Amino acid sequence: MALHRLTTVTIGVSNLAETAAYYADFGLTPTGGNAFATVDGGEQLRLVHASTRRLVELGVGVDDPDDIGRITASLARLDLALDADGCVTDPGTRVRVRVSVAGRISREPAPAPAFNGPGRAERVDARAPAVLREEPVRPRKLGHVVLGSTDQEASRRLFTEGLGFKVSDEVPGIAAFLRCSADHHNLLVQPAPVPYLHHTSWEVEDVDEIGRGAHRMLEGHPERHVWGLGRHHIGSNFFWYLKDPAGTFSEYYSDLDCVVDDAIWKPEVFEDMRILYSWGPPVPPSFIEPEDLAALMAGAHGS
| pLDDT of amino acid 38 | 98
Backbone angles phi, psi at 198, to 5 degrees: -80, -55
Mean pLDDT of 293-297: 92
In Å, what is the CA distance from 142 to each residue of 79, 207, 252, 259?
30, 17, 10, 17
Report how far residue 161's alpha carbon sits from residue 1's, in angstroms, rounded to the nearest whole number.
14
Structural domains of the chain, ranges and CATH numbers in brackets: 3-103+139-302 (3.10.180.10)
| pLDDT of amino acid 273 | 62
In Å, what is the CA distance from 202 to each residue of 56, 88, 109, 182?
18, 24, 19, 15
- Give 123-144 pLDDT, tens digit per residue: 999 999 999 999 999 999 999 9
Mean pLDDT of 273-300: 89
Apex 60 CA angle, 56 and 63, nearest 5: 155
- Give 11-51 pLDDT, tens digit per residue: 999 999 999 999 999 999 999 999 999 999 999 999 999 99
| pLDDT of amino acid 301 | 54
| pLDDT of amino acid 113 | 85
Q: CB-based contacts of 303: which residues, under 8 Å, 6+ apart? A: 51
Mean pLDDT of the chain: 95
Q: Quick check: 274 pLDDT over 80? A: no
- Give 156-190 pLDDT, tens digit per residue: 999 999 999 999 999 988 888 999 999 999 999 99
- Give 198-228 pLDDT, tens digit per residue: 999 999 999 999 999 999 999 999 999 999 9
| pLDDT of amino acid 117 | 93
Backbone angles phi, psi at 238, to 5 degrees: -70, 150
| pLDDT of amino acid 4 | 96
pTM above 0.85, yes or no: yes
| pLDDT of amino acid 174 | 86
| pLDDT of amino acid 197 | 98
Rounded percentage of the chain residues whose pLDDT exceeds 90: 91
Q: Would you give the DSSP letter of residue 181? A: S
Apex 302 CA angle, 296 and 303, nearest 5: 90
| pLDDT of amino acid 109 | 81
DSSP secondary structure string for all residues of 24-89: HHHTPEE-SSSEEEETTTEEEEEEEE-SS-EEEEEEEEESSHHHHHHHHHHHHTTT----TTSEEE
Please confirm whether the linkage preceding 229 is cis (ω < 30° from 0).
Answer: yes
